[in-house]
A and B are shown apart, each in its own frame.
Chain A
């Protein structure tokens, strides 16, 4: 079983749609969680951290469920510019290493 699992997609959605991505992690010692965005042929860039209480940044909402070892990202009012691969990333307690999921590809069409 992979340490971090994501649905690879692609998710093809029209502009203005709401889309949700899920991610599960296997190591219960995981302590920090992030969503990164990666555009084609570019480096990953931090989108947002994920906190236990849930957090929101504009159109983006991240949720964490420690009991189920599950993370989600919700994007509201999708824009064409949201088209990218979204990487779920987990840090295990006591290390500085980040474990990356394989990413979920989103394509927003007009």
Chain B
């Protein structure tokens, strides 16, 4: 599987602050995705991080709240801005690695708790 390093693995944050999550892949990939998994729920796609252009957001997610950077083909960041307790969730970056059967691989996730 693709090696995806995601950090931080967990954080506890205060309401109103922002947290930036980093995702580093061991090889160049075209598509990187950011998912959210709320407690007891399945994964929901936040946005697709495109290299060289703005991220594509899914319904219910906006750039002001979840700004994304994709400076190159191996790295992306997701920022959770102006956090509230409702943002407490696991955030996962993922990639489709076409060289390995077009499967989706995940980073180890960031467990975020907002007080």
B48 lies within 8 A of chain A by Cβ: yes
Asked whether, in the complex, the Cβ of A102 is within 8 Å of the Cβ of B41, the reply is: yes
Q: For residue B1, which residues in chain A have a CB less than 8 angstroms away from its CB?
A: 45-46
Q: Do residues B109 and A43 form an inter-chain contact, with CB atoms below 8 A? A: yes
Interface residues on A, range: 10 to 19
Closest approach, in angstroms, between the C-beta of B93 and any C-beta of chain A?
A: 9
Q: Let me know if B42 and A103 touch, CB within 8 A.
A: yes
* B109 lies within 8 A of A42 (CB): yes
> What number of residue pairs across chains A and B have CB atoms under 8 A from each other?
41
B108–A46 CB distance below 8 A: no
CB-CB contacts below 8 Å: A1-46 with B: 32, 34, 41-46
CB within 8 Å of B: which of A51-93?
A: 87, 89
Q: Are B105 and A42 in contact (CB under 8 A)?
A: no
**Residues of chain B in range 86-104 having any CB-CB distance to chain A below 8 Å:** 92, 96, 101-104
Consensus secondary structure, chain B interface: strand
Which B residues touch A87, using CB under 8 A? 42-43
Assess whether B48 is in contact with A96, with CB atoms less than 8 Å apart. Answer: yes
- Smallest distance from the beta carbon of B13 to chain A beta carbons, Å? 18
Is B111 located at the chain interface by the 8 A CB criterion?
Answer: yes
* Interchain CB contact under 8 A, B106 and A41: no
In the complex the two chains form, is B42's CB within 8 Å of A100's CB? yes
Given A87-B42, A96-B48, verify A43-B107 contact (CB < 8 Å). yes
Give Cα distance in the complex from A42 to B107, angstroms. 9
- Identify the interface centre among B33, B104, B105: most chain A CB within 10 Å of its CB: B104
CB of A96 within 8 A of CB of B31, answer yes
The answer to whether the Cβ of B63 comes within 8 Å of any Cβ in the partner chain is no
B positions within 8 Å CB-CB of A = 1, 31, 33, 41-45, 48, 92, 96, 101-109, 111
